[in-house]
A = this chain, B = another copy of it.
């Protein structure tokens, strides 16, 4: 029977919204936002969209009017009563009232600040400027909107059954991954795929399929809206954004050297248990751990998000041992460029030495590789980063010099201050059939594992000029 009222309601849609809620974002954004709200509320920042995959000419594919409509729609959103109740009332990481009343009152009143949009050389220049706690919440919706508008553009001329078969193929592809993963019952995974998802509906499907297919081995999703609706854990801790901005604010080299630890000292005060996860690679993992205060070795674990994941995990294990900690009590979260082979290899390599878990992103929620002509739906490497704080440029080094961002002179200064010597340049991988899109960290060679990665091509990514 046709539900006439629903059809008539649908007629009235101005747009089919991509981001339909302020909490359609990653949980760690809200945790970090609360931390920033309390510790650095007056910092002014600029965030900027960077498409590392130059071959995907977004401004040619995506209509500017549609993009503006979607961005404007996000600016019209505010926290709903139910969303507020969820954030106030839910247990996150075993803790009630994770979000404090003053932060919640601020969040309930929040509307996102304006954006600045221009076209240049077939790409969009999209920037956000304003108070840090406001601007930072643009990152995830901005990325999700551009990813999904690109998907919609590619699918616009497809037939109805062609579309159904496209999704049938994508479902089959994901399910085959689930079937392989569940042969390793101790391998636990969370969805980290919000920002580069194919679409909201697809991410929601992927989460539900993981829930059914993996059962308790699926530990939750980074997406707060989906976590709320599907009644699973919201997962996440903190990201590079914090040390990058803290570092940019440093007045002296000494303050700069201390900045990453000040971030974690603020975090330490606020959080315990599984929320105490170190992200050590912003300015080089090895130096960071070498100079770390002892209290940091007491934290629950590390997240490995760049460089060779085996080297990263080994470095952390060695460090824990040196500080008298038992690595078997520690958690290592891998979250960089994962797919099934990598996860199984890493799990088997480390399962008896540490507590292993995975934050699976792009190749969970956007593995449309090989499904349409010219691989036009393959995921691509889009990021939205803090580029300045109180007028000073931010810098990121990571464990791969090809992923460094910031003005070259500042990069040299940071390398000196953080004692980063010669880093080994790592290939940034282009997948088979990816049609030239460049991935920041996906599928890199894993040095001492079985090395199932195929079709590795070296792509030199220049440091991005932001000064």
Interface residues of A (CB under 8 A from B): 1, 3, 5-6, 9, 159-162, 164-165, 167-169, 171-172, 175, 208-209, 212-213
Contacts and interface: CB of A to CB of B under 8 A. Distances in A.
A175 B170 CA distance: 14
A165 B172 contact: yes
The 4 closest A-B pairs by CB, nearest first: A168-B168, A168-B171, A165-B175, A161-B212
B175 A172 contact: no
Contacts of A208: 161
Contacts of A161: 175, 208-209, 212-213
Contacts of A160: 212
A327 to B, nearest CB: 36
15 contacts: A1-B3, A1-B6, A1-B9, A3-B3, A3-B6, A161-B209, A161-B212, A162-B212, A162-B213, A164-B209, A165-B175, A165-B209, A167-B168, A168-B175, A172-B172
A6 B171 CA distance: 29
A interface, over-half SS: helix
Given A1-B3, A169-B172, 12 more contacts: A1-B9, A161-B212, A161-B213, A162-B175, A162-B212, A164-B171, A165-B171, A165-B172, A167-B168, A168-B168, A168-B171, A172-B172
Contact of A168 (B1, B162, B169): B169
A171 B165 CA distance: 6
A107 B422 CA distance: 88
A362 to B, nearest CB: 21
A172 B168 contact: yes
Given A165-B171, A171-B165, A172-B168, A212 B159 contact: yes
A5 to B, nearest CB: 7
A167 B162 CA distance: 15
Contacts of A167: 168
Contacts of A209: 161, 164-165
A4 to B, nearest CB: 10
Contacts of A6: 1, 3
Most buried by B among A165, A171, A208, A213: A165
A217 to B, nearest CB: 15
A292 to B, nearest CB: 43
A96 B9 CA distance: 43
Most buried by B among A5, A171, A213: A171
A172 B208 CA distance: 21
Contacts of A164: 171, 209
A6 B3 CA distance: 9
A341 to B, nearest CB: 21
A9 B3 CA distance: 14
A161 B207 CA distance: 11
A351 B162 CA distance: 29
Contacts of A9: 1
A168 B165 CA distance: 7
